[in-house]
Each structure stands twice: as C-alpha cells, then as structure tokens.
Amino acid sequence: MAKAPKALCHQCPLKDEPFVPPSGDANARCVIVGEGPGRTEVAEGKPFVGQSGKLLDAVLKEVGIDPEDTYRTNVVMCRPPGNRAPTEREVNCCLPRLKEELKHTKNPVLALGKSACEALKIDWTQRGAWLYSDVVEKTVKPAWHPAYVLRRPSEATMLIAELRSYARGEGAQRIFEPEVIWAESPKHLIELLLRCPDDAWVAFDIETNNVMWYDRPDKMSDAILMLQLAWDVDFGVVVSDELIYDYPETAEILQEFFNRVKTVGHNAKFDAVFLRSHIGVNPNVTFDTLLAQYILDENMPLGLKTLAALEFGIADYEKELISMFLKSRNDDYSKIPPVQLAEYGVLDVICTLELRERFEERLRENGQYETPFMDIIMPASHALENVELRGFQIDGDALKKVSKLLQEKIEETTQKLRDIAGDPELNPNSPQQLSEIIYHKLRLPQPRSYKIKKGSTNAAALEALKDEHEIIPAIKQYRRVKKLFTSYVNNVAPLRDKEGRVHGNFLIYGTEVGRLSVRDPALQTIARPDDEYGGMIRGMYCAKPGYKLIHADYSQAELRVMACYSQEPFLLDAYRNDRDLHSEVARAMYGPNFTKADRVICKMFNFSYVYGGSEYSFADSAGLPVDTARNFVRQYNANMPQALKWKSEQFKRAQKQGYVETIFGRRRHFPLITRTNLDEVRKSCVHMVIASTASDLTLKSLIQIENEGIPVVLSVHDSVLAEVPEAQAEEAARRMEQIMEEMGRKYLPDVPWKVDAEIRQHWYES
C-alpha cells in the first residue's frame, strides 16, 4: 500500500522507514520543499519541526512570513537512515507524490537545499532567482537549506536574503529587456550622450578580454572590448573597442560626459584603472555597488549576478548569454561574439543602476551613507586607483638574490628530508609519499582528532605530530620555503611591468574585519620584517632611482584603540604618561623586579589580547604550561577590569543587535550565534571593532596623504608607504607623521598618538 497518493512505495528502498506527511494549507503563502524528515520530524509527525525548522521559522518571521502560513513538505516522505541524503531512486519513487501535492498548492515553491533543487530539476547555484521547474510545472526559488546554515552560521545572511526575496513575491520580479544601442561614430556618441540629463546617475562598465591592464616586458596588456553606459533601464549605450582605441576624440567625449554626470559601477576601480591607463579617461566613480553591499553586510556574496538574483529575482544572464563561449571564468572574452557580449554588458549596467538606488536607501537607513561609505570607502577607492596605477618598484637584483637563496633552501630541505626518510627519490611535494613515510615507514601514530583524516599530512596533522620525529619539522620547513618561493618570488616576477613595477590589486572588500587586502602580488601576507624571510622578501621592494620610500607606522594602534573604546584606566594611564605599556604590564604581573623575559611574555600577550586569544593559544605561543597561562590571563583581566567589562558588553551587543559597530560606522554582522561559532563571535565582536578602527585611521590618513600629493605605494596594517623624490623625503616624512597623528587625535582623542616615519631605499633594510 502506498503511504500517500501516487507514491511508488512498493519500489522504494525507504518503504520500511518511518514517514512524515506534509503539513499546512495548500493555499499557504509559502510553499516549502525540503529534503527529508529528520528524527524530530518523525517523532512529532510534521516536517521542519527540529533545529532546522526552528531556524527556518525564525528566518520566515524575520522576512515577514508567518510560519503558520506555510505548506511544508519534503522530496522524500520517509526518513533516510542516519540522516543521509536520499538516493536518486528514492527521490524518483516519491516524485509522483510530490508532483501531486504541489499541483494543489497556490504559491511558488521555496526549494531548500540541493536535494530539493535536484529533484525539481532547477539550477541549485542560482539561489535567490525565480526559476521554472518543468517537473512540477511551477515557479521555484532555490535557497540554502537551514541545516547547512546551522553548520555555517555566517551563511544565515544569505538564507535571510533568499527568503526576503521570496517574500517580495514573484510579482516583484524585475524583467529587464533593454535596447542595445551601439554608438556608430564619435558624432553619434555625442548625440546619444546628449540624451542624458546633467547630474543623472550613469552606470558604466567595460568588458575586457582579460584582467591584466598593463604591459609587461614580454606580454601586452589585455584590451578593452567595449564600454557600456546606462542611465535608464530601457536602453544601454555601447561604445566599441574600435571607437575607444581608434578615434582619439572618443576619450574627450567620454571625459566631458563623465564630468557632468554621477557615475556608478560594480567593482568600478577595476574599470577606472583600465580606462585611465588605456585612454586617459577618468570616470570619477561616485558610487560603487559592490562596496556598498560590502558595507551593508560583509557576509554577503558580492557578485553582480547573485545580487541581481536576490534583489530582482532574475536568473543568471551570464549563463544564458555568454558562458557557452567560454571554457572557464578566466577565459578570453574576445571569444564572445560582440552582439551577445553587448547584450550581457548592458544588462550588467542596468542591474548596477538599479542596485545603486536600493543600496543608497539602505545605507541611509543604517546611518552608513555619509560615514563610512561616502567619506571613507569611496575616497579610499579613488586613492587606491592612484596607488594601483603608480605601482611599487621591485629591485631586480634583490629579486634574483632572494630567488636564488630560496631555491637553494628548497634543495637543501629536500635533501634533508630525503636523508631523514632514507629515500633518495622522495618527492616532498607528494602528500601520498609523505604519508607513506610518516605512517607506514616511521610508524608515527595517527593523530586522534576528528578533523584530521587518516593518513593526512596537512598542517593540523603535522602540528599534532610535531614532537614525534625530526621529519615533521623538516617537512614544515620545506613547505614554508617552497610556499615563500612560489607566492612571493616566482609568481611575482612575471607581474613586473617594463619599469620593474608591480601593480597590486587592492581589495577594500577583502576582509570581513574591514582591513585592506592586496592581491597580485600578495603584499600584505609577507611575514613580519623580523622573520628570517619576511625581511628579505620586503627588501626586494624599493624606491625608484632618485626617490626614497617613507614608511610611516602607527605605534601600537590597536592597543590605543582598545584603550579608547574600553576606557580602561590602566591602558589610558600608560599611554597618557608615555610609559612603556609592556613594562607596565610586566610590573603589574611580576612585581617591580620583573625580568626582560617577563616583559617579552607580557608584550606577546598584550598584542594577542585584542584578538581575544584563549589561554590555550597563549600557552602555545608563549611556550607556557596551560595552568600558568590560565593564571596569567586571570591576573591580567583582574588588572584591567574595565577592558574585560567592555569586551563582555561587546558580546552582548552582538547578541542583541546581531552586529557590532565601529565609531566609523563599519559593522560586523553575526546573524546567527550557535555553539559552532560562539567562540569565534566572542573574539570577533571585540577584535573587529579594534582592527577596523585602527585600519580606518590608516585608510583615512592614506587618503589625505595621497590627496596632498604625497604618492602612496602601499599600506600594510597600520602603516603607509610612500615614494617621493629624494629632496622632498624629509619634509614628506614629517608631514605623514603629522597627518597620521592628527587623524588619531581627531577621532580618538583619549590617548596620544605616535607615528614613526622612516626614510629608506628599500621597504626593509637591516
């Protein structure tokens, strides 16, 4: 007997498992399809009543859907043993039943998770878009499964966005069918642009065949294939590569146009750098939708297609229009026929134009429009355009030297590993060969942690085995030098332009805590200068001939920020009286006769304090027994009760508001706090606020330094590096100190600020 109408139970491997019928009214506002019932669902006889169901209910409420006003069902009605995903056969046996059920439901389907999407044959990657399922002949919106979100709590933001877009309803879906108008000549371009009112918002974007915008000695830069402009959803203007490169008047026409309108782009720094370097046109970007989304919620994906799906419900037009011409995402866009590329590119600018309006409204609602968006983020984006265009000089001889040294180290460590392993053929890049040696030949014990797979040689496994055999530190050493060579030498050399400069890509949205990151080359992840290799690699970077580098660095920026936020008297006193904080702490912890070693320990802990490290991580890094570390932390906290109180208030804010906020209006969101991320939240609600504030002081300084005509080449953590003519170095160094110290005083006046600016030829000099 079938358990439900049309179910093919007699053929189904799950026929003897307990089953859970659907719940709710077929006319309900929200029709939910999940994967299959879990233990609690079986116990209560209803779908989505366990942990996932509770989260689902909370998110439904958040987006304005009454959890009672839902119809809930699953791809399979019976519980797959051990909570596994149902097999294709099981799904197929239950599918006629699901089709029959959904026939009677009124509203579109919300498909939760991959199994539901696969059963309905819709594209699981297009979460947020309205799609059509031929299987059930209904409109469907795919979304994350709440069970996944319980494991990855930061994804709650995405689940909320997906359900919000479902709640807006199918009727809110935007359909863009813009006309694509090609500018046929410079004169025609002028005519088209005259249609645009002064001061209008204009979305712009370029398509390029790839992302390299500058020439290297043996390789030409990539090229602009077209420029698209839109100030109205009904049409987009396309300027071809021919018009861009072959008609010098085009640049003038575009520049004049950009000067009289307000421009918006998605990740517009990329387009601006290309346009400025290739045809000397500066689009003066007023608004960047990607950066706006990042400020609104650092947990959200930032891709234009995903945002278009979530905001407008539209399916991925990249897949529809151009993906078939490309082998991979990095493939050459000139393979795409211009007509399709233009159609795609115009949709991009229309979506950007429409997103801008929504994002501005939300930023204003949050009180984030003026600060940080308009007074930090957008000016930072402009300043970094200059920094990227300028580049950073590499000393070719130093690069060769470091390269040679690291290659010798690789050979040396390879030889050492082979000797220890007793295998002259050992390939140290092969995890299989290393695993064989570690676990079979040397019979080291398999670490007992569920996080470490059997036979693994990953970093966690090596850490667990570090005291077991001399081969372990040797492998670690080999991997370290190999990685340094690859990331900081081998991958960097081909990035140099004809003058030997590299032009890193600065990501304002690169970290969740709001710090900048840099790619190609990764200049910010180079080890500290006091590291054996960190100094050497930094030493490859220099000022060009006749110029000097100025390295201006905030002293203890994060601890000063912490003092201001927490108002901890111990910290405030130390800074106000210009006493050495590390010695002050050592005195408080160990008495007046503290030793140098005591001060070192206190220094280490002071810096890690703002990261909220546990006694275990402290014990590990300071080489102390856990009990000693625990006592240390206890006493340290007793010395700084106000700092401890502030930390716990931060956590309460995170719980209550779902986010914490800096004085510059940057937020770190914690949409869902569970056992999985509790420790993480406790740490980041403190650390983000401190790190982001110190970083924004640096960023604001960078903007001013650049605006005053001192050319910046890099910013790492709380330092700014500029490159100036030798004769101006002294003056520029003093000015940079002034700007940075004043910035600290202006926003965080409770402590004095100290900046040291050094004049150097190389980034690091021993």
Q: Minimal distance in Å, beta carbon 120 to ligand URA? A: 13
| Minimum distance from residue 73 beta carbon to ligand URA (Å) | 8
Task: Spell out the residues 6+ positions from residue 437 whose beta carbon is closer than 8 angstroms to its own.
Answer: 421, 423, 426, 471
Scanning 45-53, 123-131, 358-366, 748-756 for contacts with ligand URA by CB under 6 A, the matching segment is: 45-53
Rule CB under 6 A: choose which of 24, 34, 613, 744 binds ligand URA: 34
> According to CB under 6 A, which one of 23, 59, 65, 74 is a site residue for ligand URA?
74
Between 148 and 590, name the residue whose CB sits nearer to ligand URA.
Answer: 148
| Window of 30-38, 450-458, 668-676, 689-697 that interacts with ligand URA by CB under 6 A | 30-38
Going by C-beta distance under 8 Å and a sequence separation of 6 or more, which residues neighbour residue 53? 40, 41, 47, 146
CA 119 from chain centre, in angstroms, equals 32
Scanning 50-58, 121-129, 360-368, 406-414 for contacts with ligand URA by CB under 6 A, the matching segment is 50-58
Q: 731 CB contacts (<8 Å, ≥6 apart)?
A: none
DSSP 630-651: HHHHHHHHHH-HHHHHHHHHHH
Nearest distance in Å: CB 39, ligand URA: 9
Distance CA 612, CA 683 (A): 5
Torsion of CA 6, 9, 11, 14, to 10 degrees: 140
22 is a site residue for ligand URA (CB under 6 A): no
Query: What 8-state DSSP symbol labels residue 34?
Result: E
Only segment of 32-40, 215-223, 374-382, 556-564 that touches ligand URA (CB under 6 A): 32-40
CA dist., res. 306 & res. 309, Å (int)? 5
Contact 606, 617 (CB under 8 A): no
The rounded distance, in Å, linking the Cα atoms of 653 and 670 is 10
Minimum CB–partner distance for residue 49 and ligand URA (Å)? 7
The CA-atom distances, in angstroms, between 160 and each of 188, 496, 591, 671 are 46, 44, 53, 9
With contacts defined by CB under 6 A, how many residues of the chain interact with ligand URA? Answer: 13
- Of 24, 38, 142, 313, the one binding ligand URA by CB under 6 A: 38
Between 48 and 609, CB nearer to ligand URA: 48
Q: Which helix (H) or strand (E) holds 174?
A: none
Q: Which is nearer to ligand URA, 74 or 165 (CB)?
A: 74
How many angstroms separate the first and last alpha carbons of the chain?
83
Nearest CB to ligand URA, comparing residues 79 and 682: 79
The span from the CA of 345 to the CA of 229, in Å, is: 9
Among 9, 24, 28, 48, which residue sits at the site for ligand URA (rule: CB under 6 A)?
A: 48
Task: Name the helix (H) or strand (E) containing 137.
Answer: none
Alpha-carbon span 292 to 265, nearest angstrom: 11
Rounded to a whole number of angstroms, the minimum distance from the CB of residue 450 to ligand URA is 23
Decide whether 152 or 519 has the Cβ nearer to ligand URA. Answer: 152
Is residue 385 close enough to count as binding ligand URA by CB under 6 A? Answer: no
Residue 144 vs 664, nearer CB to ligand URA:
144
Take residue 502 and report the two structure tokens written for it: 């590299």
**What CA–CA distance (Å, rounded) separates 534 from 536?**
5
Rounded-to-10 torsion of CA 208, 209, 212, 218: -140
Residue 612 CB partners (closer than 8 Å, separation 6+): 647, 682, 683, 684, 686, 687
Looking at 28-36, 310-318, 342-350, 742-750, which segment touches ligand URA (CB under 6 A)? Answer: 28-36
Rule CB under 6 A: is residue 41 a binding residue for ligand URA?
yes
- Using the minimum distance from each CB to ligand URA, give the nearer residue, 35 or 354: 35
Three state DSSP letters for 58-69 = HHHHHCCCCHHH
Residues 6+ apart with CB under 8 A from 313: 128, 129, 130, 141, 165, 168, 170, 172, 173, 174
Tell me the DSSP string of 485-518. HIIIIITTGGG--TTSEE--EEETTS-TTS--EE
Q: Which of 7, 14, 28, 47 is the binder for ligand URA (CB under 6 A)?
A: 47
Beta carbon of residue 105, minimum distance to ligand URA (angstroms, whole number): 16
Cα-flanking dihedrals φ and ψ of residue 553, to 5°?
A: -130, 130
| CB of 47 or CB of 108, closer to ligand URA | 47
**Closer to ligand URA at the Cβ: 83 or 427?**
83
Contact set for ligand URA, span 715-744 (CB under 6 A): none
Tally of CB atoms within 10 A around 119: 24
Residue with Cβ nearer ligand URA (35 or 706): 35
In degrees, to the nearest 5, what angle opens at C-alpha 506 toward C-alphas 503 and 510? 150
Q: Figure out which of the listed residues 52, 154, 704, 715 binds ligand URA, where binding follows CB under 6 A.
A: 52
Cβ at position 175, least distance to ligand URA in Å: 32
Give the residue with the Cβ less far from ligand URA, 53 or 535: 53
* Distance from the Cα of residue 314 to its chain's centroid: 24
| β-bridge mates for residue 264, sequence order | 203, 287
Nearer to ligand URA, 38 or 391 (CB): 38
Tokens 């993480």 -> residue: 680
Residues sharing a CB contact under 8 Å with residue 422, sequence separation 6 or more, in sequence order: 441
Q: What is the x/- site pattern for ligand URA, positions 142-181, by CB under 6 A?
A: -----x----------------------------------
Nearest one of 84, 70, 68 to 35, comparing CA atoms: 84
The residues facing 205 across adjacent strands are 228
> In this chain, which of 22, 37, 345, 514 binds ligand URA, going by CB under 6 A?
37
CB of 84 or CB of 441, closer to ligand URA: 84
Tell me the window of 10-18, 44-52, 314-322, 530-538 that interacts with ligand URA (CB under 6 A).
Answer: 44-52
Among 35, 90, 297, 316, binds ligand URA (CB under 6 A): 35
At 279, list the tokens: 């045809």
Span 91-150, contacts to ligand URA by CB under 6 A: 147
Binders in 501-520 for ligand URA, by CB under 6 A: none
Query: Shortest approach of ligand URA to residue 463 CB, angstroms?
Result: 36
> Could you tell me the two tokens for 685?
């609600």
Q: Name the one range near ligand URA by CB under 6 A: 41-49, 245-253, 487-495, 574-582.
A: 41-49
Closest-by-Cβ residue to ligand URA is: 34
List residues near ligand URA by CB under 6 A: 34-38, 41, 47-48, 50, 52-53, 74, 147
